[in-house]
Amino acid sequence: MTNESETGPSLNISVAGRTETGSSMAVNHDPAGTAEDGAATGAAGIGIGIGAIANEIGLTKDTLRVWERRYGFPQPLRSSGGERLYPQEQVTKLRLVKRLLDAGHRPSKVLPQSITHLQQLAEDSGVGQDAPDAALDRLVELLRVGRYDDFRFELLKRATREGLSHFVLDTAAPLSARVGNAWAAGTLQVYHEHLFSEAMQVTLRSLMRPLSEALRGRGAHPRVVLTTLPGEAHGLGILMAEAMLALADCECMALGTQTPQQEIVDAVLAHEIEIVALSFSASVPVQAVINGLTELRAVLPAEVTIWVGGSSPALRRKLPDGVLNVAGLGPIEDAVAEWRHSAML
């Protein structure tokens, strides 16, 4: 139910590890070290705080500190208040390291290596490699050089020409993966991703609106609520999943991102929801994904199924009973058909 990146995308239908929000702040002069949770670049522009790194890349602060002691990397600078600040070159390397770890490489084998060596290892391993597509590459280039109006115009033209299904599968999902890979390689910045995500969401919603309005109140089944759990800020993938579910004649209710567990349960009970669809990007720690699914499964009615998708490595593990991993956007139609068949038995 996902592509492998969210800028995004899955049920993100996601996306590579990163956040969709961010802010800048001055260096916090904090002798006690609580500024370690700072979420942005220091005042002198010398680096990024450990909290921002943890959120953006999907590595816990404890993991970064252990690596620093055990492997000598990363090697953060320090603000006058004692906050760890990570220079951009180290951030780029950490992105590569995270992707290689998700692909099965061990920290002891990748952390001592140079960025050049890691890039070669990623290429040899097929990590973050894009299928050849000159048209999609041109869209990424428009984004990179700041031609945002041209980017939005080209996106709208493709959406109009292709229609909703082909646009999601042939443009939105692979383009999201490309943007995510470019971010991981350091050729696009976080603000590029924000601009991309905003333009893509506007385009998708304009395509989806007539169909969503036509389905509302028709008594279509299954009834699906779509969201992400707290800690997962990426929303583009879940929007793409909503598009594919609507095309399969499902009645969808989108709750946005980071919905608290009890609010999901309340929505399920109030609207007789039959499927809860969730997206998980690689930016969320694996154990947090497993814990979140286990806890949600325990409080939902037994007859309600949880569908999950995204680029999180957690989804490759054994999932709780009653949780289905829909591995891609394309298989959503078949998953809906199977649900309907089972509901008739």
CATH 1.10.1660.10 assigned to domain 34-125? The reply is yes
Q: What angle do CA 49, 55, 59 make, to 5 degrees?
A: 90
Q: For 6-29, how does the pLDDT look when each residue is reduced to its tens digit (9 = 90+)?
A: 444 344 333 333 333 333 333 333
Q: Range with the lowest mean pLDDT among 102-111, 147-156, 274-283? A: 102-111
188 against 152, higher pLDDT:
152
Q: What is the mean pLDDT of residues 124-152?
A: 86
- Strand order across the 223-227 sheet: 251-254, 223-227, 275-279, 305-309, 323-325
Whether the predicted pLDDT of 252 surpasses 50: yes
Q: How confident is the model at residue 2 (pLDDT cuts 50, 70, 90)?
A: low
| Residue 45 confidence (pLDDT) | 53
C-alpha–C-alpha distance, residues 60 and 91, integer Å? 14
Q: For 290-338, how does the pLDDT look when each residue is reduced to its tens digit (9 = 90+)?
A: 999 999 999 999 999 999 999 888 898 899 999 999 989 999 999 999 9
As a whole number, the mean pLDDT across the chain is 84
Whether the predicted pLDDT of 34 surpasses 50: no
C-alpha–C-alpha distance, residues 244 and 252, integer Å? 10
Q: How confident is the model at residue 92 (pLDDT cuts 50, 70, 90)?
A: confident
| Residue 164 confidence (pLDDT) | 95
Would you say 279 and 309 are in contact if contact means Cβ atoms under 8 Å apart?
Answer: yes
Identify the CATH homologous superfamily for domain 134-344.
Cobalamin-binding domain (3.40.50.280)
Q: How confident is the model at residue 129 (pLDDT cuts 50, 70, 90)?
A: low
Each domain of the chain, given as residue ranges in start order, spans 34-125, 134-344
